[in-house]
Amino acid sequence: MTTAAPDDSFHVFDTTLRDGAQREGINLSVADKLTIARHLDDFGVGFIEGGWPGANPRDTEFFERARTELDLRHAQLVAFGATRRAGVRAADDPQVRALADSGAPVVTVVAKSHDRHVELALRTTLEENLEMVADTVAYLRERGCRVFVDCEHFFDGYQANAEYAKRVARRAHEAGAAVVVLCDTNGGMLPAQVQAVVRTVAADTGARLGIHAQDDTGCAVANTLAAVDGGATHVQCTANGYGERVGNANLFPVVAALQLKYGRTVVPPAALPEMTRISHAIAEVVNLTPSTHEPYVGVSAFAHKAGLHASAIKVDPDLYQHIDPDAVGNSMRMLVSDMAGRASVELKGKELGYDLAGDRELVGRVVERVKEQELRGYTYEAADASFELLLRDEVHRAASGEGGEGGAPRFFRVESWRAIVEDRPDGTHANEATVRLWAKGERAVATGEGNGPVNALDRALRVALERIYPELARLELVDYKVRILAGTHGTESTTRVLISTSDGAGEWSTVGVADNVIAASWQALDDAYTYGLLRAGVSPTE
């Protein structure tokens, strides 16, 4: 395995934020896009295509905020746009100017390379289209941008009129495009075709080539690799293969194949073991359940049914795995649902300041409880604070001796709570919640109103507690996520709520699971305030 850092000789170009966002059901806010960009940068991709500045307000805002809020370590930000309109100079086309104005150091320009698309979709002549490509590239180069040209429908165009498709590629290259990207926009190609076309076009045009594959034949990853075999040195992918219709070439298996099977360093070696985590984190942001059967990163990707081969796997697991799962941050599983191993609990404990290595029994009990809770729908990967509360509970239980009570820190004891949502004749809603609790020997009853029942509960809880614990005034809920789990009866499903809370200095996440969203939220709120008081150095009183 090579260990050098990736350089400009090979480009991993991510377009999750632009083409990936075309997937049915994905709808990204600017904040989502910034978060995803940070994850992609952590993964070490070379380029992050952020959207089309000027085409819609959200993308324009993204590029504006990126200037101050995005501190990229590896990646360069890329603006996407189209060639100029027919019959105007690129310098006079506001769409093209907006690309240069976006502040992105790199611009991808989409160009038509299929003769019928030029005539039917652009409604211009084949010659004018060539001028549009050359003029747009030249203008953006003058404005100081590095330019990549996406030749849309290239492979279909090549089948229809190979000479014209190649003329577009050549013209882009001659005008100064750093990379000419051949796009299988309709996704109908197979690897052998892709490799042959890339090889011919590279020889005939002399251009540096890239590949953009869609997955309509189920071959996008293979098509991307076939293009590399044919000479492409720039691959366009999306996280988890998100994209229009079936999707795009999936970034993770493409990078894993290049790095682990081709021995080519295309992302920093230290980033590859982050792949599984980053894949799941991005799925959370776009609010899609991570696919359990995704190559390399799915929870089932290295799951073995114990039995026939169990003893041989023990002797030499490599005989039954195509790669070491650690290389991509995944792990082998011999039994279903064994997500939390002893080692990871020990490591996590250490990270949180508890040395558990000496206490096999305690670690075993924590693993048991995590398994039980995950079976019920909890997830601790995204809820560190709830995990720490569980861990503290077991640590203190162990310290208090055989049969001791749980030692979770308690700052308050809830007597009861209630939430009411009522619609009003004018179409608005009244949301009211009442909380009854005990803290420091005092009983507090408080009612809160909010724009929803959870918000009302949150306010009631704060009013009840803040008089006793003024430290809570600093806390703010900064994120709230709801996921319905394994529902076969619609509204009767189990609900999981994840809440992130901030005290200005840091953020923590808590989880709640229940048969309804209010009760699940309540659990997560309870953990969130308990953890906040712990962080503030307040001593538990209950």
Quick check: 529 binds a copy of itself (CB under 8 A)? no
Tabulate helix, strand, coil % of the chain (nearest 5): 45, 20, 35
Quick check: 329 binds a copy of itself (CB under 8 A)? no
Instruction: State which of residues 56, 125, 344, 400 lies at the interface with a copy of itself (CB under 8 A).
Output: 56
Quick check: 5 binds a copy of itself (CB under 8 A)? no
Instruction: State which of residues 137, 328, 362, 518 lies at the interface with a copy of itself (CB under 8 A).
Output: 518
Quick check: 357 binds a copy of itself (CB under 8 A)? no
Which of 324-361 are b and which e, b meaning 16 or more Cβ less than 10 Å from the residue's Cβ? ebebbbbbbbeeeeebbeeeebbebbeeeebebeebee
Quick check: 292 binds a copy of itself (CB under 8 A)? yes
- CB closer to a copy of itself out of 395 and 511: 511
Cα–Cα dist 105/367, whole Å: 48
Quick check: 229 binds a copy of itself (CB under 8 A)? yes
Closest separation between CB of residue 25 and a copy of itself, Å? 6
Instruction: State which of residues 418, 463, 503, 536 lies at the interface with a copy of itself (CB under 8 A).
Output: 418
Closest separation between CB of residue 535 and a copy of itself, Å? 17
- DSSP letter for 296, please: T
Instruction: State which of residues 78, 201, 257, 468 lies at the interface with a copy of itself (CB under 8 A).
Output: 257
Q: What are 144's two structure tokens?
A: 């100081």
Piece of 125-133, 188-196, 353-361, 437-445 that binds a copy of itself (CB under 8 A): 188-196
Select from 333, 369, 316, 11 the least CA-distant residue to 177.
11
Cα-Cα-Cα-Cα dihedral sign, residues 83, 89, 95, 101: positive
Closest separation between CB of residue 245 and a copy of itself, Å? 6
For tokens 């970034």, what's the residue? 251
Quick check: 429 binds a copy of itself (CB under 8 A)? yes
- CB closer to a copy of itself out of 290 and 452: 452
Quick check: 190 binds a copy of itself (CB under 8 A)? yes
Query: Residue 172: enclosing H or E segment and its boundaries?
Result: helix 162-174
For a copy of itself, the binding residues in 191-220 under the rule CB under 8 A are: 191-192, 215-219
Instruction: State which of residues 316, 361, 402, 426 lies at the interface with a copy of itself (CB under 8 A).
Output: 316
For a copy of itself, the binding residues in 31-50 under the rule CB under 8 A are: 31
- CB closer to a copy of itself out of 91 and 288: 288
For tokens 């009767």, what's the residue? 492
Quick check: 114 binds a copy of itself (CB under 8 A)? yes
- CB closer to a copy of itself out of 219 and 362: 219
Instruction: State which of residues 67, 89, 305, 474 lies at the interface with a copy of itself (CB under 8 A).
Output: 305
Quick check: 507 binds a copy of itself (CB under 8 A)? no
Instruction: Count Cα neighbours of 355 within 13 Å in the Cβ-side half-sphere.
Output: 1
Which of 220-250 are b and which e, b meaning 16 or more Cβ less than 10 Å from the residue's Cβ? bbbbbbbbbebebbbbbbbbbbbbbeebbbb
Cα–Cα dist 195/224, whole Å: 9
For a copy of itself, the binding residues in 459-498 under the rule CB under 8 A are: 476-493, 495
For a copy of itself, the binding residues in 146-165 under the rule CB under 8 A are: 153, 156
Piece of 33-41, 131-139, 175-183, 318-326 that binds a copy of itself (CB under 8 A): 318-326
Quick check: 342 binds a copy of itself (CB under 8 A)? no
Quick check: 425 binds a copy of itself (CB under 8 A)? yes
- DSSP letter for 109, please: E
* Inter-residue contact 102 to 63 (CB < 8 Å): yes
DSSP string, 198-217: HHHHHHHH---EEEEEB-TT
Q: What distance lies between CA 388 and its chain's CA centroid?
A: 24
SS3 (DSSP) at 307: coil
- CB closer to a copy of itself out of 91 and 517: 517
- CB closer to a copy of itself out of 138 and 327: 327
Quick check: 406 binds a copy of itself (CB under 8 A)? no
Cα–Cα dist 493/211, whole Å: 43
Quick check: 438 binds a copy of itself (CB under 8 A)? no
* Backbone torsions φ then ψ of 390, nearest 5 degrees: -65, -45
